[in-house]
């Protein structure tokens, strides 16, 4: 279902629980009082998604130093996430949004996509910067991976 009223800047970020690779759960309110970057990507172990995760992981210490939590999200299973983390020594925490009507649905970024004339449902690569008050401070739509993590870090520091 496509939602036309996607949450945007100034809106509260939806507080929907996601599964973590260790079998736990995480949601935006767990980070109340801190800045949070949530980056949504289509699929583990694909070239762009791998690069994006490696880039965020490489900058994790700088995000930590700036008091900014990171969370990468896709529809991949917790088991796939564990493999992905191990294979690429990722430091940015990952979570699974596999539930129907989950977080990506609430944000309107689980959407119809087209590739080589084929139409399918997929994750629109999107990053959210959430302020300590739980409100969306910035949204990057249809992200281009190169330089993205660094740009997000600069925006998070400035918030």
DSSP element (H, E) containing 27: none
**Beta carbons of 44 and 150 less than 8 angstroms apart:** no
Annotated catalytic residue within 28, 49, 85, 124:
49
Instruction: Reply yes or no on whether 79 is catalytic.
Output: no
DSSP 72-116: EEESS-HHHHHHHHHHHT--S-EEE--STT-HHHHHT-EEEEEET
Catalytic residues: 49
């Amino acid at each position: 279902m496509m939602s036309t009223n996607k949450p945007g800047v100034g809106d509260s970020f939806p507080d929907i629980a996601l599964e973590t690779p260790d079998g736990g759960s995480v949601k935006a309110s767990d980070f109340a009082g801190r800045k949070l970057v949530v980056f949504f990507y289509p699929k583990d172990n694909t070239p762009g998604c791998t690069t994006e995760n490696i880039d965020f992981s490489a900058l994790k210490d700088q995000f930590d130093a700036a008091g900014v939590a990171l969370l990468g999200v896709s529809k991949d299973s917790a088991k796939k996430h564990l493999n992905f983390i191990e294979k690429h020594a990722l430091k940015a925490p990952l979570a699974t949004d596999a539930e129907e009507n989950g977080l990506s649905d609430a944000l309107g970024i689980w959407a119809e996509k087209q590739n080589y004339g084929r139409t399918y449902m997929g994750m629109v690569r999107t990053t959210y910067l959430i302020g300590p008050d739980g409100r969306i401070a910035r949204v990057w739509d249809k992200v281009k991976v190169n330089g993205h993590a660094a740009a997000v870090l600069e925006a998070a520091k400035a918030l």
